[in-house]
Structures are given as C-alpha cells and as structure tokens.
Amino acid sequence: MKKLFGTVVPIITPLTEDDKIDVASLKNLTDHCINNGLQCLYPCGTTGEMMYLTVAERKLVAETVVSHAAKRVPVFVQVGAWNLADTIELAKHAVSIGADGIGVVTPVFYKLSDQGLVDFYKAVSSSVPADFPVYLYSIPQNAINDISPSTAARIAELCPNVVGIKYSYPDFTKLQQFMLIRNETFSVLVGPDHLFEAVCAVGGEGTVSGNAMCIPEHYAAIWSAIQAKDYDLATKYQRKTNVLNAIMCEINNIAAYKVILKEEGVIATSKMRRPMENLTPEQETKLLATMKQMNYRQIQL
C-alpha cells in the first residue's frame, strides 16, 4: 500500500469572492505544489478549513485535486468530519475518485475514550477496501482527542490498512514511540514542520506542511538533503524555514498562506471561510513586506 513521504502539502481551499470553491485556483495551486518539487498533496485538511466546508464542497475539492494531479504525485484526502456517517461517506468518495489514500482526523469537540477511538477507526477503515491506505491524524490542540502510541498500536493491529499517522503535536518522544508500531514499519509524519529534519533522521517519513505552499523551494531542498543523508545541510535549510514559518504563523497562518499565494498569482482571492478571519489590510502589508525583505523564495544559506 502507498504511504505518504517527504513534504506533504495540506493545501488551502481557494474561495471566490462569493464564497464558492474556486476550482480554477485549486488547479493552479495543485500545479504550483507539484511543479515546485513537493512530494504529496493532502486536500481538505486543517489548513483547508475542512470543518467549515460542506460535504458536497469537500467532494468537489477532492475530485478537483485528484483529477488535476493526474497521478503526478500521491493525493491522500483528509476525510475526518463532524460525525461518523459523513466521515465514511467522504472515505468511500475518496476511493471512488481514485485517491491514493485517506487521512482521518480524530472525532472533534467531544472527548472520547481510547476504546471509542479504536471503534471509530475500525468503522472507517472497514468502510474502504482492505488495500486502501488509511492514516490516523491527531491534532489534540484543535480536536480535543489525542491518540496515544498504545491506542495507535491497537488500531494498527485491528485495521491492516491503517498504515501510519500524521501527528500534529510537538512531542518528539511520542513521535518515536509511534515508529515502533508494527515492527517499525508504521509510517509517521510530523505536523509541526520545524521537526521535519529531526523526525526523518530517526526514522520518520516526512512532514505535513502548509508553510511549504509558500516556500516550496526550501522544503524541496530539505528533502533532497535528507535523502542524501546530508544532515548538516538539511539543518541549515531547516533553520531558514523556521524563521520564515514564524513570520507566516505570527497571526493566522492559513490566512497568511492565502495572502502570499494571491500575491504570487497562484489563487485569485485571499478570502477565508467564515467564521475564519481574513488578515486586515495592515496585517497583509506587514506580512508581504517582511517576507519580501527575507527574499522568501530564494534559498540563501
């Protein structure tokens, strides 16, 4: 079964001024990520404002990205939703459109027991073919529910098509514990991308990075250095991305991505799905000025 690797991009969801899915911009964004050397696409994730999109909108986003990527890179669709029924509907839809796999965020808002999480992932993984890859996705600072290494191991034992986890909390010890699952073949990707190099150095598969949409050259360079096992060089690239990422994430990282991508002509508007907030004009001006001052698309060591 396919697995995620390298820089996986949880792409934003471009919107038109009248708050519809901007299909043309979504295709441009897909090309932008692929043509700039990023390895995999992950639509409808947290960066894609997933919980504020309807099921129909999420299907449109998934269909557009899978079709336009046209197998140039793997596309794993994030299908976790507000309830189990919608999650399963989106999972089956991902299979039907030819996605390479799915990611499934933990249920949100209400606290579940470990057994509740096991039951949830058993239901989702069994709703798709046995050879269709499924990634667990834990972002406890947003979703309330977390996945412990022992719970992930139980899920992996019961669900053979659960091949890995995207873990979006900066707990390096826990990340390494996930790597021991299933005789050290369990795929582990890190959400906090300042840990990209470090996680790969100890056996992880890569990062899921929204920042990479805006500075793809830097992430392509880190991955190239990691593959060459030149960790001194990877460290230098990582440190530069950390500085740039801090600028983009200072106020509202998703809104910042949209502002930068609009400025570069990749998407048509920087509109956010309400109640998500746009940057103010003053914030936009400061963001763009600071990023340009840093020569953010230039790799300078």
Whether 233 maps to a domain, the answer reads: yes
The DSSP 8-state label assigned to residue 130 in this structure reads T
pLDDT of residue 298: 87
Q: How far apart are CA 76 and CA 92, in angstroms?
A: 13
Please count the residues of the chain: 301
The per-residue pLDDT for range 55-110, each reduced to its tens digit, is 999 999 999 999 999 999 999 999 999 999 999 999 999 999 999 999 999 999 99
Whether 108 maps to a domain, the answer reads: yes
pLDDT of residue 190: 98
What CATH number is attached to the domain comprising 128? Answer: 3.20.20.70
Whether 1 maps to a domain, the answer reads: no
Tell how far CA 216 is from the center of its chain: 14
Q: Other CB atoms closer than 10 Å to residue 223's CB: what's the count?
A: 24
* pLDDT tens per residue across all 301 residues of the chain: 999 999 999 999 999 999 999 999 999 999 999 999 999 999 999 999 999 999 999 999 999 999 999 999 999 999 999 999 999 999 999 999 999 999 999 999 999 999 999 999 999 999 999 999 999 999 999 999 999 999 999 999 999 999 999 999 999 999 999 999 999 999 999 999 999 999 999 999 999 999 999 999 999 999 999 999 999 999 999 999 999 999 999 999 999 999 999 999 999 999 999 999 999 999 999 999 999 999 999 887 7
Whether 239 maps to a domain, the answer reads: yes
The per-residue pLDDT for range 32-56, each reduced to its tens digit, is 999 999 999 999 999 999 999 999 9
**Structural domains of the chain, count:** 1
Q: Where are the beta strands (DSSP E) in the chain?
A: 6-9, 40-41, 76-78, 101-105, 134-138, 162-167, 187-190, 206-208
Scanning the structure block, which residue is given the tokens 């056996």? Answer: 203
- Token couple for 171: 């707990």
pLDDT of residue 231: 95
- Asked if 190 and 172 count as a contact pair (C-beta separation under 8 A), the reply is no
Q: How far apart are CA 292 and CA 275, in angstroms?
A: 29
The DSSP 8-state label assigned to residue 278 in this structure reads P
Contacts of 195 (CB under 8 A, 6+ apart): 170, 172, 175, 207
Query: What are the counts of helices (DSSP H) followed by strands (DSSP E) for the chain?
Result: 13, 8
Whether 299 maps to a domain, the answer reads: no
Q: How far apart are CA 135 and CA 187, in angstroms?
A: 8
Whether 301 maps to a domain, the answer reads: no
- Token couple for 299: 């790799």
Q: What is the pTM of this model?
A: 0.97
Whether 184 maps to a domain, the answer reads: yes
- Asked if 121 and 157 count as a contact pair (C-beta separation under 8 A), the reply is no
Q: How far apart are CA 128 and CA 133, in angstroms?
A: 9
- Asked if 156 and 178 count as a contact pair (C-beta separation under 8 A), the reply is no
Whether 298 maps to a domain, the answer reads: no
pLDDT of residue 252: 95
Scanning the structure block, which residue is given the tokens 């990707």? Answer: 189
- Asked if 255 and 275 count as a contact pair (C-beta separation under 8 A), the reply is no
- Asked if 164 and 135 count as a contact pair (C-beta separation under 8 A), the reply is yes
Q: What is the span of the domain harbouring residue 81? A: 6-293
CA distances from 227 to 35, 36, 179, 215, 237 (A): 19, 17, 19, 19, 14
pLDDT of residue 224: 97
CA distances from 211 to 165, 207, 225, 239, 257 (A): 20, 11, 18, 14, 7
- Asked if 149 and 174 count as a contact pair (C-beta separation under 8 A), the reply is yes
